[in-house]
Amino acid sequence: MKLLNVAAAVLNQIPLDWEGNVARLRAALGAARAQGASVVCFPELCLTGYGCEDAFHAPGVGRMAWRRLHELAGDTVGMVVAVGLPVWHQKAVYNMVALLVDGRILGFSGKRHLAGDGLHYEPRWFKAWPEGVAVTLRDEEGRSYPAGDLIYEVGGVRFGCEICEDAWSSDRPGRGLSARGVDVILNPSASHFAFGKNAVRQRFVLEGSRAFQVAYIYANLLGNESGRVIFDGEAMIAQGGRLVATAERFSYQDFGVISAQVDVDLGRVAQARRFGVAELSEGACVRAALAWPELEPVAGGRAAEPWEAAADLKLEEFSRAVPLGLFDYLRKSRSRGFVVSLSGGADSASLVVLVRLMVELGCEELGLAGFQEKLSWHGEVAAARDVAGVVGALLTTAYQASGFSGSVTREAARAVAEAVGARHVEFDISALVAGYTAMVEGGLGRSLSWERDDVALQNIQARVRSPSVWMMANVQGALLLSTSNRSEAAVGYATMDGDTSGGLSPIAGIDKAWLRIWLGWMEQHGPAERHPLPVLRLVNQQAPTAELRPPEQLQTDEGDLMPYVLLDAIERAAIRDKEMPLEVLRQMRGRFPEYGLEQLSGWVGRFFSLWCRNQWKRERYAPSFHLDDENLDPRSWCRFPILSSGFEVELAEMRDWVREQ
């Protein structure tokens, strides 16, 4: 039995924050050493930050990364440590992992499979490292290091790397590493959060450890690193198809470390049964001496958090991912809080509830003093005595009534703001709307009417609400949150420079039908080990409405558009699955038999027309959190031309087919 104490460390890094990133690496190394770990795996590109984007092409970034790596190497005496960074070689940049051993740089492993789909643009910045190729790198001082498709033998134990996307590929490097006698596979990752994605990660970690008969160490990034992407901080250690340690996800800490014992001999026995001598391949192997400590066997592992076993994990994940994203965006932008135009409807209510959850979850993990310390520049937060005081210092809400606003939404907004602890104000925008209307009527030389100018008369009310909340945010040094959701983005059911106003759009990736499910769950249950918010009944009992037309017109969102459940189904068929109008109609006919064919075809046609007409709006949305690997953000997932023919031929074919039925 040859036991090693290994660790996986997660980090909440910031792109190009050299001092902060190195400090967090060192702090995590210290924590791993305190846990007795001799092997530590850090996340992908953790030295620079994963989200540096085109700055990866700056030679100065590469040089600085080398310098910082040399500084960090001195902290690894008696250890084996994997650290991710970009490396220049022959006028190209590579995504690599440096293996630091006993105070020096032993070598560099290159990423073979680059993530280039959805929100990932790695092929824009990096070149994929070719299989079987090893080269020599030289630093500024002329010192040379092996690099490429390497394995490492340290004190008789063999190590190899799969870097994030490598493990997601069908020809993952792990099999070749196992055939070369590797005992431990290190996987430094920067795997973005998406609903349910952790189950996929666990499968490839477990399968890798079983199929390759190795100890497998996986370490992901943590938090909202660079604006849009949230990392859940997942870390896993597995051996022989069994998880021996896992990390708690969505932490508010700067870093986290898990450790466990693995038995190197156990994997070797299994490999001996599976691989014959003819299969073994030495390849490029870099060797170093290291005396491993003698260990007594101990049990490892972590009990799952109650929420991780929830029947609907998506509800729980949403309640943790977005609050963590908000917290990191707040502190990394050094904003002094949030401002929300609270209409009394579902979208704005969800934002204020998420801010409240941010404070509750953060204070629960860090303690009130720890939470306040992370926002130390905010004097009101520092002076707060409890969670409610912190929320009051961070969140301002404004109900802005037009002539068509009703008492139901006004009371809902007031009650929700009071329940979460926000500072709440009420503005009357009627005079401003009347003033703009009169001014435009004078310019046109005619009166405006609902029969002729419906959209313009609705939009001016939404736009007039924007300057006041922007001013509130500016005066307080706060961040204005946009309330737009994914369903509205799909069809452009939003007023540009009105309800789309804001510096951050947290729920732009969430469809309206599901958001209402979440609000109902928050009213009745709430996240595990937390309390529900019964006050949300005032929001949930309403039919969603913009309240921009005269009350006698009985305006509702679904009346203007179509049922939200149907809208979301059409969107996924058309945009995610790339189906044409007739194909979408046939699918909807089977899924929604309660609606007639003519009505369904009208809704499908409306969706495609509005989708094409409103791409320019999606291009202008404030940055949004990536929460779903099917979202519509053109800057992180779904590209579409601003100008197009609008599926004219395809829509005509659909209408012809309907007439023939």
Q: What is the pLDDT of residues 205-264, one digit of tens each?
A: 999 999 999 999 999 999 999 999 999 999 999 999 999 999 999 999 999 999 999 999
Quick one: CATH architecture of 3-291?
Answer: 4-Layer Sandwich (3.60)
| Span 19-45, pLDDT tens digits | 999 999 999 999 999 999 999 999 999
CATH label, 309-555, candidates 3.40.50.620, 3.40.50.2000, 3.40.190.10, 3.40.1190.20 = 3.40.50.620
Residue 403 is encoded by which pair of tokens? 């002539």
Pairwise CA distance, residues 496 & 330, whole Å: 24
Helix (H, G, I), strand (E, B) or coil at 508: coil
Cβ atoms of 625 and 506 closer than 8 Å = yes
Residues 6+ apart with CB under 8 A from 278: none
What average pLDDT does the structure give for the chain?
Answer: 95
Pairwise CA distance, residues 304 & 255, whole Å: 19
Cβ atoms of 229 and 637 closer than 8 Å = no
Answer yes or no: same fold for 3-291 and 309-555: no
| Span 454-470, pLDDT tens digits | 999 999 999 999 999 99
Among 597, 573, 611, 599, residue whose Cα is nearest residue 657: 597
What percentage of the chain has pLDDT greater than the value 70? 98
Q: CB count, 10 Å around CB of 468?
A: 17
Among 251, 233, 174, residue whose Cα is nearest residue 205: 174
Pairwise CA distance, residues 57 & 93, whole Å: 7
Residue 433 is encoded by which pair of tokens? 């709307």
pLDDT value, residue 310: 78
> What's the mean pLDDT in 476-492?
96
What percentage of the chain has pLDDT greater than the value 90? 90
Q: CB count, 10 Å around CB of 618?
A: 22
Residues 6+ apart with CB under 8 A from 636: 118, 119, 228, 229, 624, 626
Q: Where are the domains of the chain?
A: 3-291, 309-555, 562-661
How far, CA to CA in Å, does 623 sit from each of 340, 507, 514?
16, 10, 21
Alpha carbons within 13 A on the beta-carbon side of 175: 7
Burial of 472 from C-beta contacts in 10 A (0-12 / 13-18 / 19+): buried
pLDDT value, residue 635: 85
| Span 436-450, pLDDT tens digits | 999 999 999 999 999
pLDDT value, residue 302: 59
| Span 595-606, pLDDT tens digits | 999 999 999 999
Give yes or no for residue 201 having a pLDDT over 50: yes
Q: What is the chain's Cα-based Rg?
A: 28
Cβ atoms of 211 and 174 closer than 8 Å = yes
Give yes or no for residue 280 having a pLDDT over 70: no
| Span 286-333, pLDDT tens digits | 999 999 999 988 876 555 677 887 779 999 999 999 999 999 999 999
Give the ranges where 333-449 is alpha helix by DSSP (H). 346-374, 379-383, 387-394, 407-420, 430-444
DSSP symbol at 336: -
pTM: 0.95
Give yes or no for residue 277 having a pLDDT over 50: no
Higher pLDDT, 545 or 223: 223
What is the homologous superfamily of the domain 562-661 according to CATH? Answer: Glutamine-dependent NAD+ synthetase, C-terminal domain (1.10.10.1140)
Pairwise CA distance, residues 503 & 481, whole Å: 6
**Length in residues, the chain:** 661
Residue 279's pLDDT band, with cuts at 50, 70 and 90, is: very low
Residue 630's pLDDT band, with cuts at 50, 70 and 90, is: confident
